[in-house]
Structure 1
Amino acid sequence: MTSKKRNISPADIIRLKGIAFWYWEYMRRNPLYIRYCDVIKRYDDYFKSIGVYDFMQSKEFLEEISEYVSTHEDSEI
């Protein structure tokens, strides 16, 4: 019987960590990513300012929006 545990060499782990670091570094300096993060922060601030942010983080909101999307017809466009 074989073990389901995979043997990953230390060299592969180091290589993957290096790739992950440089990808993160690239994204951190990418102007489009920076703009994307700023837009998300602005939306968060807006929803907090009108008092709906906490509700939007709830399970009830997820269920409500999921139901709305699942019943939405594309023909309305």
Structure 2
Amino acid sequence: MNEVKEDNGAELRALIVQAGITQVEALALVNKGQAFPISLSTWKSYLAAPDSTRRRNCPDAVINHARKTIGKPSERA
């Protein structure tokens, strides 16, 4: 069986937990003002369990944007 390597999905999940918001709320923050918003299905694939067939790697651009948006408490207030 192939060993699953860690990717940005784990960090994305940690950002959401740390912010104390739901996955859907986090997606709304990330998508706010974006020309090409991420679909809920794609978002869930980034957050899926590492051994899930649904799992997709979360692109660096998405995790970098998430760090800027999800991590800002003033944006969530």
| Structure 1 length-normalised TM | 0.27
Q: Which has the higher contact order (CA 8 A, sep 6+)?
A: 2
The answer to which structure has the higher helix fraction is: 1
